[in-house]
DNA sequence: AATAAATACATGTATATACACTTAAATAAC
DNA sequence: GTTATTTAAGTGTATATACATGTATTTATT
């Protein structure tokens, strides 16, 4: 869908301004698709993100700060997301022996299993919904990184 | 900044998957820039979005549903965002005379004035921070719309 | 005309986000 | 070695998001 239809507006001051809105809208669109698939697994978008980060390091333990640094949307909310993952038995917390200020977290077997089920469902949906060739994706990636150059 | 640095990970299954994460990260990055500028005006990102929508139609009145349809992130939260704009005297609500189910909203003079001040500050910041030429922005827009083709 | 269905907005709840603050532990400064 | 500073995590508050539900009003059905 064209952005003009999506937000029912034709007024864009510049292509750059339109690009900003287009990125925001596309992110919302992607999140909506992902969240819909996650629903049956009782996971939210952000819980899913944290679980993937934990699985990426498994069987290593990760501290809260390291998880935060790897999150797509940097958030001060990591402890509370872990609260919810712990309640669902998808993650486990303990205090670091080396530095008692640190809480170290690991994904559980059950968390890994759930993540595998999610992937099995998510990958084909994602592939069918996102209409980009590998070459176009490469181009998009380089434009987005150009956009954030002055970060 | 490269996505790899931003989320401290090099593991992407495909360029398409990376593009998804890159869009999400860039949206977060953009929101952060905008929110920082809005802070001194006591506005949140979404309140700003609604105010701009109202100004775009001014002096016409808009109903809640029409505002929702024009929002970047479609939300069921429009009534509560209007609550906050009303408290700040940036918007006014009344019941439609034609259809009493409808609440019609208008931006106030003070809302328009604030929006003008925001633009004056936001435009140069946006221009300096987003490193894209018009041509690149055009290309980015068409790739994002290609991405959402199956919407 | 009376009833059923649809529509528009508002509200409740769980989770998430941004930001400020607190507490405990580690490190640095003296 | 004691005090001050920094760091890590957690907590509190206001706002936002997603989803379900409630309430009033309008439109459709009979």
Cα distance between residue A89 and residue A111, in whole Å: 7
Contact A3, A18 (CB under 8 A): yes
Q: Report the pLDDT averaged over residues B54-60.
A: 95
A-chain residues near B7 (CB < 8 A): 70-72
pLDDT in tens, B1-51: 899 999 999 889 999 999 999 999 999 999 999 999 999 999 999 999 999
Tell me whether residue B6 is exposed, middle or buried, using C-beta atoms within 10 angstroms of its C-beta: 0 to 12, 13 to 18, 19 or more: buried
Kindly list the residues from chain B whose CB atom is less than 8 angstroms away from the CB atom of residue A48: none
Is B31 (CB) below 7 Å from strand C?
Answer: yes
Selected residue with higher pLDDT from A27 and A75: A27
- 3-class secondary structure per residue, B16-36: HHHHHHHHHHHHHHHHHHHHH
Sign of torsion over alpha carbons B132, B136, B138, B144: negative
Residue A91 has φ and ψ, to the nearest 5°, of -145, 160
User: What's the confidence (pLDDT) of residue B76?
Assistant: 77
The burial class, CB within 10 Å (0-12 / 13-18 / 19+), for B7 is buried
Residue B132 and residue A19 in contact, taking contact as beta carbons nearer than 8 Å? yes
Q: Which nucleotide is nearest to B73 (CA to C1')?
A: D17
Q: Do B31 and A9 touch (CB under 8 A)?
A: no
Nearest alpha-carbon partner for B21 in A72, A124, A107: A72
CB-closest option in B16, B26, B72 to A137: B16
Entry pTM: 0.95
A12–B contact, CB cutoff 8 A: no
Give strand D nucleotides closer than 7 A to any protein Cβ. Answer: 7-12, 15-20, 24-27
**Count of CB atoms situated within 10 Å of the CB of B124:** 10
Read off the pLDDT of residues A43-84 as tens digits, 9 standing for 90 and up: 999 999 999 999 999 999 999 999 999 999 987 799 999 999
Whether the per-residue pLDDT at B151 is higher than 80: the answer is: no
Q: A53 beta carbon < 7 A from strand C?
A: no
DSSP string spanning chain A? --HHHHTT----S-HHHHHHHHHHHHHHHHHHHHHHHHGGGT--HHHHHHHHHHHHHTTS-EEHHHHHHH-SS--TTHHHHHHHHHHTTSEEEEE-SS-TT-EEEEE-HHHHHHHHHHHHHHHHHHHHH----HHHHHHHHHHHHHHTTT-
A125 part of contact set with chain B, CB < 8 Å: no
pLDDT tens for each residue of A112-140 = 999 999 999 998 998 899 989 999 999 99
Are residues A72 and B126, on separate chains, in Cβ contact within 8 Å? no
What residues of chain B lie within 8 A of the CB of A147, using their CB?
26, 130-132, 136, 140
What is the distance in angstroms between the Cα of B35 and the nearest Cα belonging to chain A?
Answer: 13
Looking at chain A from residue 28 to 87, which residues have their Cβ under 8 Å from any Cβ of chain B? 28-31, 53, 56, 69-74
Q: What is the pLDDT of residue B145?
A: 96
A19 vs B73, B128, B141: nearest CB: B141
């Amino acid at each position: 869908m064209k952005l003009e239809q999506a937000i029912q507006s034709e007024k864009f001051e510049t292509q750059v301004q339109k690009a900003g809105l287009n990125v925001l809208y596309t992110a919302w669109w992607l999140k909506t698709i992902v969240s819909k698939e996650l629903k049956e697994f009782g996971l939210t978008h952000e819980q899913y993100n944290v679980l993937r980060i934990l699985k990426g390091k498994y069987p290593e333990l990760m501290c809260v700060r390291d998880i935060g640094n790897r999150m797509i949307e940097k958030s001060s909310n990591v402890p509370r997301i872990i609260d919810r993952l712990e309640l669902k038995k998808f993650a486990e917390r303990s205090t670091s022996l080396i530095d008692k200020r640190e809480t170290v977290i690991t994904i559980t077997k059950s968390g890994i299993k759930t993540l595998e089920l999610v992937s099995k469902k998510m990958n084909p949906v994602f592939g069918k919904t996102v209409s980009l060739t590998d070459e176009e994706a490469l181009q998009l990636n380089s434009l987005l990184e150009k956009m954030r150059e002055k970060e």
